[in-house]
Structure 1
Amino acid sequence: MGSSGRVTLKDVAAASGVSRATVSFVLNDDPRQSISAATRDRVKQAARDLGYVPHGVARALREGTSRVVVLNIDAELEGRYSRSYVRGLDTELAAHDHVLLVRYGHDTPQSTQQVLDAIAPRAVIRFGEAYLTGRGLDDMGGGWRDGLAAHTALQLRHLAEHGHTRVAVGLPDPGSPLAEARLTFTGQAARELGVPVPESFAVPQDPADCARAVGALLAGVPEVTAIAGFSDDVALRVLTALRGLGRRVPEDVAVIGFDDNGYGVHVTPPLTTVAIDAEAHGRLSARLALDLGTEGLRPPSARVVVRGSV
């Protein structure tokens, strides 16, 4: 038993003769793990015999907090990543008898304090923080292995492999808090690939303004042969603008999106994009919020969904 007197996953593992990771998989009822029924029964019986209580739940009861976890997310970040992240977060929290409350809108200290005062949540999570900020460049939360930096590099690498060395990055207008990080990672990836650091420009939502912005970019930097969208939304605006300008895609200008929002398949040409499954990131956030082990969590690699725009 742990030095604090509290039964831990390690104690359950020792009593059932399996690894700590296996205990975590069994008690979290992870359907993706192939664990025999006999082993599952042995682990659950050991947990019952020892009186094991998940640390997060025990602390919530002891401190008088609710079993609600709040997720703050900006609506502009909606996409494949956010949907899969929320799904993983919700599933993992539910497995530990907690409820997820999603709060859309810009996060401020004042808004967070209002939530704390109103419902005393178990935790307040900033959506995908490690992934989006690129902290911990080698861990599964973000960075160059499974995070924003790696996925930004994947987008640029796909263009470079198709012969596009002069690239422009289309950014959302109004701007995003992630724009600076994306440009930093794009520049680093370009230097590693040995291609020029891409130009960047804002892509307005208004169609006429968008067409003017794309036209001005191509007139000012005629060497550009591809545009990498900050998101699928931005890339789809660029596709529409290029068609209005009489530019062929991908013959004249290639376009690639980011975070496959599902709409790119419905346009002509269909949009090539980077797809990211973040369910493991959501599960990781849930376990960290509840002070549980994080063994066995590793997100699948992002992939380029090849369609017709590159």
Structure 2
Amino acid sequence: MSRPARATAKDVARASGVSQTTVSFVLNGAAGHVSEETRERVREAARTLGYVPNGSAQALRKGASRIVLLNIEGVPTGSSLGSYIRGLDAELASHDHVLLVLHGHLSSQALSDVAQAVSARAVIDLGDAGRADALVTDAETSLDAFSAQAEVPVRYLVERGHRHLANAMPDTPELQALAGLRERLIRQATRSAGLPDCPTLVLPTGLGAAAERLRAFRAEHPAVTAVLAYNDDLAFVTLAAMRHLRLRAPEDLAVIGFDDTPHGSLFSPALTSVHIDAEAIGRIAARKALGLPAPDATPEPARVIVRESA
């Protein structure tokens, strides 16, 4: 037996003898210019027909749509970010919400303007967790989840006899929000492990410039035997600069990346990297953005994918 068709705003308009626009105004509480008699006629028709406004209209009446904004300005693309977005998108979709990803350069005001224009339910701003804006929902937690795994590669290197570690960071200003957080956490992890201070190697992406920077860094810090790179891309730059200087990994300098990109195994030497359960982190972020309890399942612990470079 077929289910009766659900009443629509068009049906309510026909039954009450008004336009669909008037029905929309009345049922969304914006009918200041409509007479009380007409309002009551529309409401009565809606009750008789069993009309229920759709979720989007209800959300807009409350001042929020079913859209969640994600700003990824300054966050390098890679396996972890892609998995995070997939988890975030899938969890939001399961609760009838839509994810809108922004990746251009946006000021705090511009981000706020976009959020207001679409009546965003929440904004997750990975571009700058330091923005003290009421629209930003738990961005710091997401950034921590990406970055707070610093103790995993530190412990791995210590177990292999390394005592003097360096932290390789990019020299691109747009990546400084997440890079700065990673740097602080790596320093904290090395201190907790009882290691000497962890100097920072800032590397440009050009091969020649990176090789010269690495040469100068090794002259200044000859005791360093291992480098923890900000991500896999910077680890590749480090390895390329080493090859340019005729240095071997891991014999002369061990290198470990972060992100476990698929092509890490194709590099020579194959890149040792840190893998995180970014999809689960994205699902947790989605539930927090919607004000829902965190899922029962927790993300898998970060782990080192052991290859040849460290």
| TM-score tier after normalising by the smaller chain length | 0.7 to 0.9
Asked if the contact 1:88/1:279 (under 8 Å) is kept, the reply is yes
Kindly state the Cα deviation for residue 124 of structure 1 after the two structures are TM-superposed: 1.6
Asked if the contact 1:272/1:306 (under 8 Å) is kept, the reply is yes
Corresponding residue of 1:248: 248
C-alpha distance in structure 1 between counterparts of 2:122 and 2:62, whole Å: 12
Matched residue count: 245
C-alpha distance in structure 1 between counterparts of 2:142 and 2:208, whole Å: 39
Corresponding residue of 1:265: 265
Kindly state the Cα deviation for residue 101 of structure 1 after the two structures are TM-superposed: 0.9
Distance 1:85 1:59, change over 3 A: farther
Q: Which segment drifts farther, 109-118 or 120-129?
A: 120-129
Counterpart check, 1:178 vs 2:169: no
Letter in 2 for 1:172: P
Counterpart check, 1:280 vs 2:284: no
Corresponding residue of 1:63: 62
Give the SS at the match of 2:201.
strand
Corresponding residue of 1:81: 80
Asked if the contact 2:69/2:101 (under 8 Å) is kept, the reply is yes
Corresponding residue of 2:159: 161
Letter in 2 for 1:68: I
Kindly state the Cα deviation for residue 141 of structure 1 after the two structures are TM-superposed: 5.6
C-alpha distance in structure 1 between counterparts of 2:284 and 2:58, whole Å: 19
Kindly state the Cα deviation for residue 173 of structure 1 after the two structures are TM-superposed: 1.1
Please list, as runs of the form range in 1=range in 2, the aligned pairs for 1:38-187 lying within 5 A after superposition: 60=59, 62-74=61-73, 76-127=75-126, 148-149=147-148, 151-175=149-173, 176-187=176-187
Asked if the contact 1:80/1:275 (under 8 Å) is kept, the reply is no
Letter in 2 for 1:164: H
Kindly state the Cα deviation for residue 64 of structure 1 after the two structures are TM-superposed: 4.5
User: What do the CA deviations read for 1:137-192 (whole angstroms, capped 9, x no partner)?
Assistant: xx98675xx6622x111111111111111111110012421233222212221122
User: What do the CA deviations read for 1:110-156 (whole angstroms, capped 9, x no partner)?
Assistant: 221231243222222113988xxxxx9xx98675xx6622x111111
Distance 1:184 1:64, change over 3 A: closer
Distance 1:59 1:225, change over 3 A: farther
User: What do the CA deviations read for 1:219-241 (whole angstroms, capped 9, x no partner)?
Assistant: 11111111110111111000000
Corresponding residue of 1:50: none
Give the SS at the match of 1:177.
helix
Distance 1:262 1:248, change over 3 A: same
Letter in 1 for 2:287: R
Letter in 2 for 1:170: A
Give the SS at the match of 1:171.
strand
Distance 1:212 1:194, change over 3 A: same
Kindly state the Cα deviation for residue 207 of structure 1 after the two structures are TM-superposed: 1.0
Q: Which segment drifts farther, 253-262 or 231-240?
A: 253-262
Please list, as runs of the form range in 1=range in 2, the aligned pairs for 1:191-230 lying within 5 A after superposition: 191-230=191-230
TM-score norm. by structure 1 comes to: 0.72
C-alpha distance in structure 1 between counterparts of 2:69 and 2:186, whole Å: 32
Asked if the contact 1:172/1:230 (under 8 Å) is kept, the reply is yes
C-alpha distance in structure 1 between counterparts of 2:288 and 2:207, whole Å: 43
Distance 1:71 1:142, change over 3 A: closer
C-alpha distance in structure 2 between counterparts of 1:305 and 1:240, whole Å: 20
Asked if the contact 2:75/2:127 (under 8 Å) is kept, the reply is no
Asked if the contact 2:255/2:272 (under 8 Å) is kept, the reply is yes
Give the SS at the match of 2:87.
helix
Letter in 1 for 2:90: T
Larger Rg: 2
Asked if the contact 2:75/2:126 (under 8 Å) is kept, the reply is no
Asked if the contact 2:260/2:274 (under 8 Å) is kept, the reply is yes
C-alpha distance in structure 2 between counterparts of 1:98 and 1:181, whole Å: 30
Kindly state the Cα deviation for residue 204 of structure 1 after the two structures are TM-superposed: 0.2
Structure 2 unmatched runs, 5+: 1-54, 130-137
C-alpha distance in structure 1 between counterparts of 2:302 and 2:232, whole Å: 15
Asked if the contact 2:166/2:198 (under 8 Å) is kept, the reply is yes
Letter in 2 for 1:158: Y
C-alpha distance in structure 1 between counterparts of 2:114 and 2:60, whole Å: 19
Percent identical: 44
User: What do the CA deviations read for 1:11-53 (whole angstroms, capped 9, x no partner)?
Assistant: xxxxxxxxxxxxxxxxxxxxxxxxxxxxxxxxxxxxxxxxxxx
Counterpart check, 1:305 vs 2:308: no
C-alpha distance in structure 2 between counterparts of 1:295 and 1:249, whole Å: 41
C-alpha distance in structure 2 between counterparts of 1:76 and 1:291, whole Å: 25
